[in-house]
Amino acid sequence: MARVAIVTDSTADLAPEVCARLGIAVVPLNVHFGEEVFRDQLDLTSDQFMERLRRTPDLPTTSQPSPGRFEQTFRELAADHDEIVAVLLSSKLSGTVQSALLARDAVADVIRVEVVDSLNASVGLGFQVLRAADLAAAGSDAAAIAARLATETGAYHLVFFVDTLEFLQRGGRIGRAAALVGSILSLKPTLRVDEGLIVPFERTRSRAKAIKGLAAFAKGLPRVERLAVLHSTTPEDAAALADECVSLLPRSEIAIAKFSPVIGTHVGPGAMGVAVFEGEPA
């Protein structure tokens, strides 16, 4: 049986203990505050990031890992694995996939690497990573895992709302016109990741209605195999939303995750979301 390593990046928003238990290697993206550079989730936690964001007048920026960082990870894993599957942040939101492809080519004579574009973000990506780990544990090889994930892309969903569109607009992740409309109307815009891009989903006029909209989205899916509630700064609201979703899964199976500093750079404080993997068709 081939020993397949699973690699992802820090925007998957998976708990460190989950990655450690499953042997998932995480390559960090970077957060820049002026001249200072922090490795996402390593040098800067989500709570530290939000505290710093409150104190700084300048919006931070983000950058993908270098090809060299991926190459180092791949070479280290080659010591005790036969193949690697790297499941990464949507190529339409970041250059992370491109960095990994360059690293894949650099290690081609050492180990086979399959790079998977999740076309998703946060735990929408994270659930694909967990799926890859499950398939590897069941004995699938790297090519089979990559092929399965590619066919299942439409079964992973990420829907979220932000308190303000300022962060997404300034980071170039949503159009200026959409940001302006949301600001003028004082809406709580709900967005989703669709084919790798962030697109409008619903417009609500209050935070309470936006939270109810997240629950309604999850409840409206035909199947729910995995479910996570996401937040930037509001753990109490996240816990209440998880409680609202117990008709879908037992409460103990609904994860609550914080957006990573890189994701937080673009969604800002107060953001919340749900990530869902529908599972295989019955």
Question: pLDDT per residue over 139-151, tens digit each?
Answer: 999 999 999 999 9
Average pLDDT over residues 5-28: 97
CATH number of 116's domain? 3.40.50.10170
Handedness of CA 86, 89, 90, 96 (dihedral sign): negative
Please tell me whether residues 142 and 196 are part of one structural domain. Answer: no
pLDDT given for residue 206 in this prediction: 86
CB 31 within 8 A of CB 37: yes
CB 248 within 8 A of CB 215: no
Please tell me whether residues 223 and 90 are part of one structural domain. Answer: no
CB 234 within 8 A of CB 121: no
Q: Where does the pLDDT of residue 282 fall: very low under 50, low under 70, confident under 90, or very high at 90 and above?
A: low
Distance CA 71, CA 91 (A): 18
Please tell me whether residues 168 and 260 are part of one structural domain. Answer: yes
Give the phi and the psi of residue 36 in degrees, each rounded to 5.
Answer: -85, 135
Average pLDDT over residues 91-104: 97
Name the H helices within 56-193.
Answer: 67-77, 96-106, 122-137, 142-151, 166-170, 176-185
The structure tokens listed for 262 are: 């890189």
How many helices (H) and strands (E) are present in the chain, helices listed first? 11, 13
Q: Who wins on pLDDT, 128 or 200?
A: 128
Average pLDDT over residues 199-217: 89
Whether pLDDT at 50 is above 60: yes
pLDDT given for residue 198 in this prediction: 87
The structure tokens listed for 188 are: 């709580």
CB 265 within 8 A of CB 169: no
Whether pLDDT at 184 is above 50: no
pLDDT given for residue 167 in this prediction: 57
Average pLDDT over residues 35-58: 93
Please tell me whether residues 8 and 147 are part of one structural domain. Answer: yes
- Length of the chain in terms of residues written: 282
pLDDT given for residue 177 in this prediction: 41
> Which is nearest to 257 in space by CA: 19, 52, 46, 62?
46
Is 53 part of a structural domain of the chain?
yes
Mean pLDDT (the chain, rounded): 91
Is 145 part of a structural domain of the chain?
yes
pLDDT given for residue 59 in this prediction: 84
Is 163 part of a structural domain of the chain?
yes
CATH number of 166's domain? 3.30.1180.10
> Which is nearest to 74 in space by CA: 123, 19, 124, 112?
112
Whether pLDDT at 181 is above 50: no
Please tell me whether residues 139 and 178 are part of one structural domain. Answer: no
Domain boundary among 152, 177, 210: 152
Q: Who wins on pLDDT, 108 or 167?
A: 108
Q: Domain count of the chain?
A: 2
CB 279 within 8 A of CB 225: yes
Please tell me whether residues 67 and 127 are part of one structural domain. Answer: yes
Please tell me whether residues 173 and 106 are part of one structural domain. Answer: no
Please tell me whether residues 162 and 135 are part of one structural domain. Answer: no
Please tell me whether residues 65 and 9 are part of one structural domain. Answer: yes
The structure tokens listed for 95 are: 């250059």
Average pLDDT over residues 102-117: 98
Handedness of CA 173, 178, 181, 187 (dihedral sign): negative
Please tell me whether residues 147 and 238 are part of one structural domain. Answer: no
Range in 35-49, 96-110, 171-185, 206-220 with the lowest mean pLDDT: 171-185
pLDDT given for residue 280 in this prediction: 84
CB 232 within 8 A of CB 271: yes
56 three-class SS = coil
Domain boundary among 108, 133, 152: 152
Average pLDDT over residues 230-251: 97
Whether pLDDT at 195 is above 70: yes
Whether pLDDT at 166 is above 80: no
CB 168 within 8 A of CB 41: no
pLDDT given for residue 159 in this prediction: 97
163 three-class SS = coil
Structural domain including 182 reads 155-277
Please tell me whether residues 169 and 32 are part of one structural domain. Answer: no
Average pLDDT over residues 198-218: 89
Is 282 part of a structural domain of the chain?
no
Is 183 part of a structural domain of the chain?
yes
Whether pLDDT at 182 is above 60: no
